Each structure stands twice: as C-alpha cells, then as structure tokens.
Structure 1
Amino acid sequence: MPLARFDRLPRPAQKALRGDAFPKFAATKSNEGIPNVVPLLSTSLADENTLIFVRMMIWKTARNLLANGRITINVIGPGLYSWIVVGEFAEFVRQGPYLDYFNRKAMFRYNAYTGAGEVGVIRVREARGPVPLGLAAAMFYNLLREPVRADGPGGHGPAVMPGPVLEKFNRRLALKHLGFVEEDGTPVAVPCLDLHARSANDLAFVMPRNDDHPLSQLRPGMKVAGSVFTLAPVAYQVKGVFTGEEDQSGRRQGVIHLQESYTAAPPVPGRRIFPPELS
C-alpha cells in the first residue's frame, strides 16, 4: 500500500490518537542531529491540528523541543497500521483546558508521582500513512532467531547493551521503534517489531521490500535510535549508526552498530547506561 501524505489528520489517525490504548512514540533530535525516540503514551488529540502530551520523565525530549521544536509522533492504530504525524512544538503550558483535560484522567488525577503539571502542545504539519506493521513477518522471523546473550560472541568491545537491555530487545512481545533524521531534518519514528540483538553491540532488522516504506530511507552512516517498551512497563533506548544491509538466509537485513544505551523508565529515566555516567 503506497504511503500517502495528508495536510490534515485522517480519521483513522484521529481515532488512534484519541485512544489511550493505542501506543504512541515521539521522535525528536538534538541540534547536532542525534535522533531520540521514546514512548510518549500520554499524547492525545486536542483537535485535528493540535496534539497535546504531559511533560513527564522526558528530559531529553523536552530539551530537544526547546532547542529546535522538531517532533514526530508515531501512533499504532487499529488494523495493524501506524501513522506518522509530523509536527512543530509550540509551547509548554501550566494552566488552562489542556492541563485540566489530563488532570481529569485516572492516570494523573490525585497522583503526585505522575501528576500532569505541564502540558506540551504540538501543531500538526503533516500526516503520513498508513504504515503496515509487518506483524506476521516479524513473528515468523522472530521464531527463526537464535537467542543471544550479553556475553555471547559477535560483539566488538565492551557491551553497549547489558543483559537486561539485550533481553528486552529480544523479546517477541514488545513494542520496538527505530528513529532517524530525514534529509530535510525531520526526526521520524517507525515501528520495527522484528528489531533484535545480534550481539551486545549490534541490532538487526529485516529491511522492508517496499521502497516507499520509511525505513527504506536509511543509508550507511546515518545516526539511528532504537526504543523498546514492554508491558511491565520497562523501556530502554539505544543509539548508534546504521552500517548498511547484509544478506541473511536470503533476506535483506539492516544492521545498527550501537554506541550508547539509556534507561527510559522509572526510577531513573534518561540515565545513560553505557558509556557509564561519571558520578
């Protein structure tokens, strides 16, 4: 199915953005062009031109938004398709109807730890989709994979992904996204359910057959971020470089050489795991 572009949010995308049960991920970038991809589950539709979200445990995302305002939301909706919503960050607000909206929700009401104290506002520029999840193919390839351990062979240098991080990326029932920056500077997050660890320092995934798929834009040397979110909920993010494609049993497989890993969930979201932060 060709990837269409819309100057307004199509109804299926609006439906997904209104539903709390549909997962949303945010892609931003630093001024140096480093992508950042994290779950942003609070993202909601205010109107067909505006998205809102709670500023909660997203320090790097907030810094990127205040630096350059570039953001894309990916939402997985009904029918096993996702939608890419390209936006421009407008502001953070501490009062008004947007804050009231979130504070009426059970997740935030009377909860000092996850209370909605500040709300981000995004102006929608463009919607793209629908992007097929490739769920059937991901399940098939996941069954073929051999398990990898953090201390197993195939890595290069110290382990970027310690055992708990590697184990989450190799889970078959987990939401995984890849993020990168397009040629025009737009950060993009794309679901990649078959993303998995080849070693403690490398991730791999099956390249899409359709040249219109967003991941077909990846070129060797591009900076990439990978995010995993489990039902626990536990989330991690890794960053590295796309090194290109390899043939793996007749399949085109994309490879990412990792350089950094981060926590993306409590108790210390955003803490760098590797290289270790200096105390």
Structure 2
Amino acid sequence: MFRYNSYFGINTVHYLDLLEITGGKPLPMTAVVGSAILTKAVKKRAGRPEDKRVLTHFAERLFNRLDSLSFLSRVEDNGVPSITPIVQCQAADSGRLAFHPGAFGDELKKLKAGSTVSVLCLSMEMESVMVRGVFEGFDRYAGVTLGVVSIERVYNSMPSNNGWIYPVTPLEPVVHF
C-alpha cells in the first residue's frame, strides 16, 4: 500500500462531523459464521440469469471469500449515515449481493426496500472493492431469509488505479493537451 504513495498524490480531501459512535463490542462470531454458512448454501437462488457481467471475477471471488470483511453503509431517515458490518455478505451472482440477517439483524432490519446502499468488501491482503446499489429487501430462498442488493455501480478502491469500473466508460482519445 505505501509503495503507491510515490505514484500518486492526494487530489481530494473529505471531512465529516462525527455525530455519534456506538461502543465497541465483540463480533458475534457464532451468528456471523452461521449467517455466512446459510448465505453460502442458498445465495445462488437469489441470483438472476445474467446478460452482462457487473462484478469482475476478482471482485466476485473477493465477496465470496469467507475471510473477507464487508460493511454496508446507508443514510438513515434523519439524514445521518450509518455503517453496519455484514461479514456474511456474498455475491449471489455478478450483479447481486446476498446476506442472511443473523448477525447484526437489529441494524439490518432497519433497511428499507428500494433504498440506496453501499457495500465495501476488503481483505487482510489490502484488496478491496466497493459497490453501490439498491437494497431489494428481505425474502425467503429455500426457507432461508436473505437480504439482496442489486448492484448498480462498482468502484475499484485499490491503488494505483482507483475509480469507477462499472458501468464501463469507453476510452476517449485525448484531443486537448
């Protein structure tokens, strides 16, 4: 990661007012593992026949790794952003993410169908990808409740070539220097 600091400079700085944090609490590993197993078992049923690839093969594998960390962000009704860990989130196909609400279910049940959400997935090897999409709601697949996110945009958050990678923007020739 630090070797890329010589390749690019800082071009944008964002800041925020931190309004509230929740106290640190241990990760409910039993619920996370159980939710991940349930998600993995039935996630394909939440998928759709694909006519185009949204996630790259790399990004789909990253989401489907059991050691990846995922976080869902959304804007609450009062306009305040909120972040919830969803370690159990996996790719149902290249265009949809699925997760069982067993871990952090109280937070996840606050999600409203049709709301815009963002999911960041990262690994301890400093690999990451972020997607933005629409939360389609919770539904039952083979008797298991899954939340589904339909992906609209994919962002490569890794150096040295970060930026939006889906939808694909065509290359244009440089005409003005």
Band of TM-score, shorter chain: 0.7 to 0.9
Over 3 Å counting, the alpha-carbon distance change for 1:226 and 1:155 in structure 2 is farther
Aligned to 2:71: 177
State the distance in 1 between where 2:149 and 2:12 align. 35
AA matched with 2:93: S
CA RMSD, aligned part only? 3.2
Cα deviation 1:18-39 (Å, max 9, x = unaligned): xxxxxxxxxxxxxxxxxxxxxx
What stretches of structure 2 of length at least 5 have no aligned partner? Answer: 172-177
Describe how 1:144-155 pairs up with structure 2 within 5 A: 145-146=40-41, 154-155=48-49
Q: Does 1:234 align with 2:121?
A: no
Aligned to 2:152: 259
Describe how 1:82-121 pairs up with structure 2 within 5 A: 112=6
Over 3 Å counting, the alpha-carbon distance change for 1:253 and 1:146 in structure 2 is closer
Aligned to 1:195: 89
State the distance in 2 between where 1:186 and 1:255 align. 22
TM, length-normalised to structure 1 = 0.51
Aligned to 2:165: 273
Q: Does 1:163 align with 2:50?
A: no
Counting strand residues as a fraction of each chain, which structure ranks higher?
A: 1
State the distance in 2 between where 1:250 and 1:209 align. 18
Aligned to 1:268, the other structure's residue is in SS state coil
Over 3 Å counting, the alpha-carbon distance change for 1:226 and 1:120 in structure 2 is closer
State the distance in 2 between where 1:251 and 1:193 align. 17
Cα deviation 1:185-217 (Å, max 9, x = unaligned): 112121100000111111011124877x32221
TM, length-normalised to structure 2 = 0.77
State the distance in 1 between where 2:14 and 2:137 align. 36
**Cα distance, 1:116 vs structure 2:** 8.4
State the distance in 1 between where 2:156 and 2:104 align. 33
- Once structures 1 and 2 are overlaid, which stretch shifts more, 137-146 or 238-247? 137-146
State the distance in 2 between where 1:233 and 1:244 align. 30
Contact 1:208 1:215 in 2 (8 A): no
- Once structures 1 and 2 are overlaid, which stretch shifts more, 252-261 or 166-175? 252-261
Over 3 Å counting, the alpha-carbon distance change for 1:257 and 1:155 in structure 2 is farther
State the distance in 2 between where 1:240 and 1:216 align. 17
Percent identity for Structure 1 against Structure 2 = 25
Describe how 1:26-37 pairs up with structure 2 within 5 A: none
Cα deviation 1:23-81 (Å, max 9, x = unaligned): xxxxxxxxxxxxxxxxxxxxxxxxxxxxxxxxxxxxxxxxxxxxxxxxxxxxxxxxxxx
State the distance in 1 between where 2:64 and 2:30 align. 17
Over 3 Å counting, the alpha-carbon distance change for 1:148 and 1:165 in structure 2 is farther
**Cα distance, 1:170 vs structure 2:** 0.4
State the distance in 2 between where 1:161 and 1:276 align. 11
Aligned length: 167
AA matched with 1:274: Y
Over 3 Å counting, the alpha-carbon distance change for 1:148 and 1:267 in structure 2 is farther
Contact 1:244 1:254 in 2 (8 A): yes
State the distance in 2 between where 1:194 and 1:260 align. 21
AA matched with 1:142: A
**Cα distance, 1:157 vs structure 2:** 3.2
